[in-house]
Amino acid sequence: MNFLSPCPSPNQRFADIKMQSDEELAQEARYRSEAFAELYRRKLNAVYRYHLSRVGNVHDAQDLTAQTFLAAQKAIASFRGQSKFVAWLMGIASRKTIDHFRRQRLTLPLEAANEIADDLMTPEEFAAQQLSLEQVAQALSQLTHDRAEAIALQVFGGLNTTEVAHVMGKSEGAVKMLVCRALKDLRKHLGTTCE
């Protein structure tokens, strides 16, 4: 270590963290709390939206989100970088949701998902989305677990097909089929057609 070189300022260290990939931050999070804090900041919304879409109420979604990040922080040393960090994290989120349903032994609607608004939406867009989310929430409650899980991970969790396949332990083809069938079921339930 060169003691004559200037120490990076806190602002420079923060800027460096902002420029790192999720996977690099996950490796650093083993020994730097700032790295895990940045991962938390980046992935909080996706994890929360995923949980909210699955459990249907804000309180349980918040609780499961906290449980997910606590479990991730405890297990960060097990992240090997063989998959994307977000897929690893959403795998933890998925297991937390499964545990929740095992304890609850019931399926809840997605009614609360309409509380999530994109900061960039106009009030008219938000109102239209609320109407759509209420209809979609009702329709999602009619899907099988695997189909609802695939849609929730992809739409609310923001994962791509490869990442959903990794989280669910299925092939990409199986995930594509689940999503395709889920969308077909949703269209049927919502009374829309696909052209």
pLDDT digits (tens, 9 = 90+) for 123-145: 555 545 554 555 655 667 788 88
Answer yes or no: is pLDDT of 164 > 70.
yes
- pLDDT above 60 for 18: yes
Q: Which band of pLDDT confidence, cut at 50, 70 and 90, is reported for residue 191?
A: low
Q: What is the pLDDT of residues 89-123, one digit of tens each?
A: 999 999 999 899 888 764 445 544 444 444 555 55
Q: Is the pLDDT of residue 149 over 50?
A: yes
CA atoms of 96 and 74, how far apart (whole Å): 14
Confidence of residue 36 (pLDDT cuts 50, 70, 90): very high
Name the residue ranges covered by the structural domains of the chain. Answer: 10-108
- Written as one letter, the residue type at 117 is A
Residues in Cβ contact with 19 at an 8 Å cutoff, skipping those fewer than 6 apart:
none
Q: If pLDDT is split at 50, 70 and 90, which confidence band does 12 have?
A: very low
Question: Mean per-residue pLDDT for 165-188?
Answer: 88
- Give the per-residue pLDDT at 35: 93
Q: Mean pLDDT over all residues of the chain?
A: 78
pLDDT at 179: 87
The CATH code for residues 10-108 is 1.10.1740.10
What pLDDT sits at residue 58? 85
Burial category of 122 from C-beta neighbours within 10 Å (exposed 0-12, middle 13-18, buried 19 and up): exposed
Considering only residues 113 and 168, tell me which one the structure prediction assigns the higher pLDDT. Answer: 168
Angle, CA 51 vertex, CA 46 and CA 53 arms, to 5° = 95
Q: How many helices (H) and strands (E) does the chain have?
A: 9, 0
Is the pLDDT at 84 greater than 50? The verdict is yes
Say what the pTM is.
0.67
End-to-end CA distance of the chain: 64
Q: Given CA atoms 176, 177, 182, 183 in this order, what sign does their dihedral have? A: positive
Per-residue pLDDT at 9 exceeds 50: no
